[in-house]
Amino acid sequence: MLNFEFDNKTKIIFGKKVEEQVGELVSANAKKVLLHYGGGSIKKSGLYDRVIDSLQEAKVEYVELGGVVANPRVSLVREGIKLCREEQVDFILAVGGGSVIDSAKGIAAGFYYQGDVWDLYMRKDTFDVCLPIGVVLTIPAAGSESSGGSVVTNEDGLWKRDIGSLNLRPVFALLNPELTFTLPAYQTACGISDMLAHVMERYFTRVIKVDLTDRLAEAIMKSVIKQAQILNQVPDDYDARAEIMWAGTLAHNDLVGTGRQGDWSSHGIEHELSGIYDIAHGAGLSIIFPAWMKHVYKTDIPRFAQFANRVFDIEINTMNLEETAMNGIEAMENFYNLIGMPTRLSQVKIDDLRFEEMANKATNNGTTTMGSFVQLTKSDILAIFELAK
């Protein structure tokens, strides 16, 4: 096990009607808040009105900025920074899923920064301070409600990049599973794919003697897979929704990554995919992750066999561990198909015309590698795209 520091400041308030506490929580941290959200779903569901009523009851001033889309755009982040400065906002309240929260974090990071916020995402500069953030979560997926990361897309050049800082962890996150009852099945499945990927990026490590976090990761994956199958049959099962919502947070609050080194190359490759084609992040991950597995599994066949056995209950063939490993990858693909996720680029009508461009972007024109389980070169990434066809 590696040395580590674990510091997650986010206060999680979980359960039915917890969103009614939002005004009280914001008023303890701010006088004027930016209410940041996506499209019209929070207004149709009545959540918007409940949040506004709670803010007004707590005598919190607010300004609004809606319009966040999937794969959130840096142009809206820039607009939010300008609005927050003009209105002298001292807190950001994100009401939505990972895209809304990531956009809010971009605004928070850019508020005090004197340059263009995109420079932070391109690693041209760093930031030390940011506006505080609170969250009312409506889509369990990204884990952004208690993570320190933010991912946005720049429409100019179709680049999708991330930033990270402990300071970007939200002050609080309100998680009411009832708010997810109306999610379309596809959006639910995309969220499930995303949270599983967050666990697997940490699970497939070259660090040895990490049994505790192995078991934590396996428990989260097994529970998500079980609850996903329940939701396939009963979409408004509160207990299954609650398990999924909490799993999404645990998958990406850094707990299961303690003492080990994560990989993150599947995420990096997927960012190029959704940056150009604007597909749902979870759908991109369900395509890329099995292809990555097939490309790298021989690096540590015992770990992949362990994954097959402990997550999918596949009996280990001690005479042929490779067979067990491959059966685990097949089981992963079958699960994605069961919940309606694609596992091939052809299923989302993406051809090979831009493989070279995406591999170049991922590796700075072939000058860098990606990942830690296996350090992927440009040719490796091209091979993974070929496996994903």
pLDDT digits (tens, 9 = 90+) for 344-375: 999 999 999 999 999 999 999 999 999 999 99
Residue where the block lists tokens 């850094």: 254
**Is the separation of the CB atoms in 140 and 191 below 8 Å?**
yes
pLDDT at position 376: 98
Residue 37's pLDDT is: 98
Q: What is the mean pLDDT of the chain?
A: 97
Half-sphere exposure of 30 (CA within 13 A, CB side): 25
Let me know: does 310 contact 251? Beta carbons within 8 Å.
Answer: no
pLDDT of residue 40: 85
Residues 210-223: b if buried by 16+ CB within 10 A, e if exposed: beebbebbbbbbeb
Mean pLDDT confidence for 88-96:
98
DSSP 6: -
Which distant-in-sequence residues (6+ apart) come within 8 Å of 72 by Cβ? Answer: 99, 100, 102, 103, 106, 151, 152, 153
What does the pLDDT look like over 188-215, one tens digit per residue? 999 999 999 999 999 999 999 999 999 9
What pLDDT is recorded for position 41?
92
pLDDT over threshold 90, residue 121: yes
DSSP 203-233: HS-S----HHHHHHHHHHHHHHHHHHHHHHH
> Mean pLDDT across the stretch 259-276?
98
Per-residue model confidence (pLDDT) at position 323: 98
Q: Are 370 and 276 in contact (CB under 8 A)?
A: no
Average pLDDT over residues 1-29: 97
Q: Are 253 and 217 in contact (CB under 8 A)?
A: no
Q: Per residue in 146-198, pLDDT tens?
A: 999 999 999 999 999 999 999 999 999 999 999 999 999 999 999 999 999 99
pLDDT of residue 326: 98
Q: What is the mean pLDDT of residues 263-290?
A: 98
**Position 330 pLDDT exceeds 90:** yes
The mean per-residue pLDDT over the stretch 289-305 comes to 98
**Bridging pattern class, strands 172-175 and 133-137:** parallel
Tell me what the mean pLDDT of segment 328-357 comes to.
98
pLDDT (tens digit per residue) in 35-64: 999 988 999 999 999 999 999 999 999 999
- Residue 283 clears pLDDT 90, i.e. is over it: yes
Checking if the pLDDT of 231 tops 90, the result is yes
Question: Percent of the chain having pLDDT more than 90?
Answer: 99
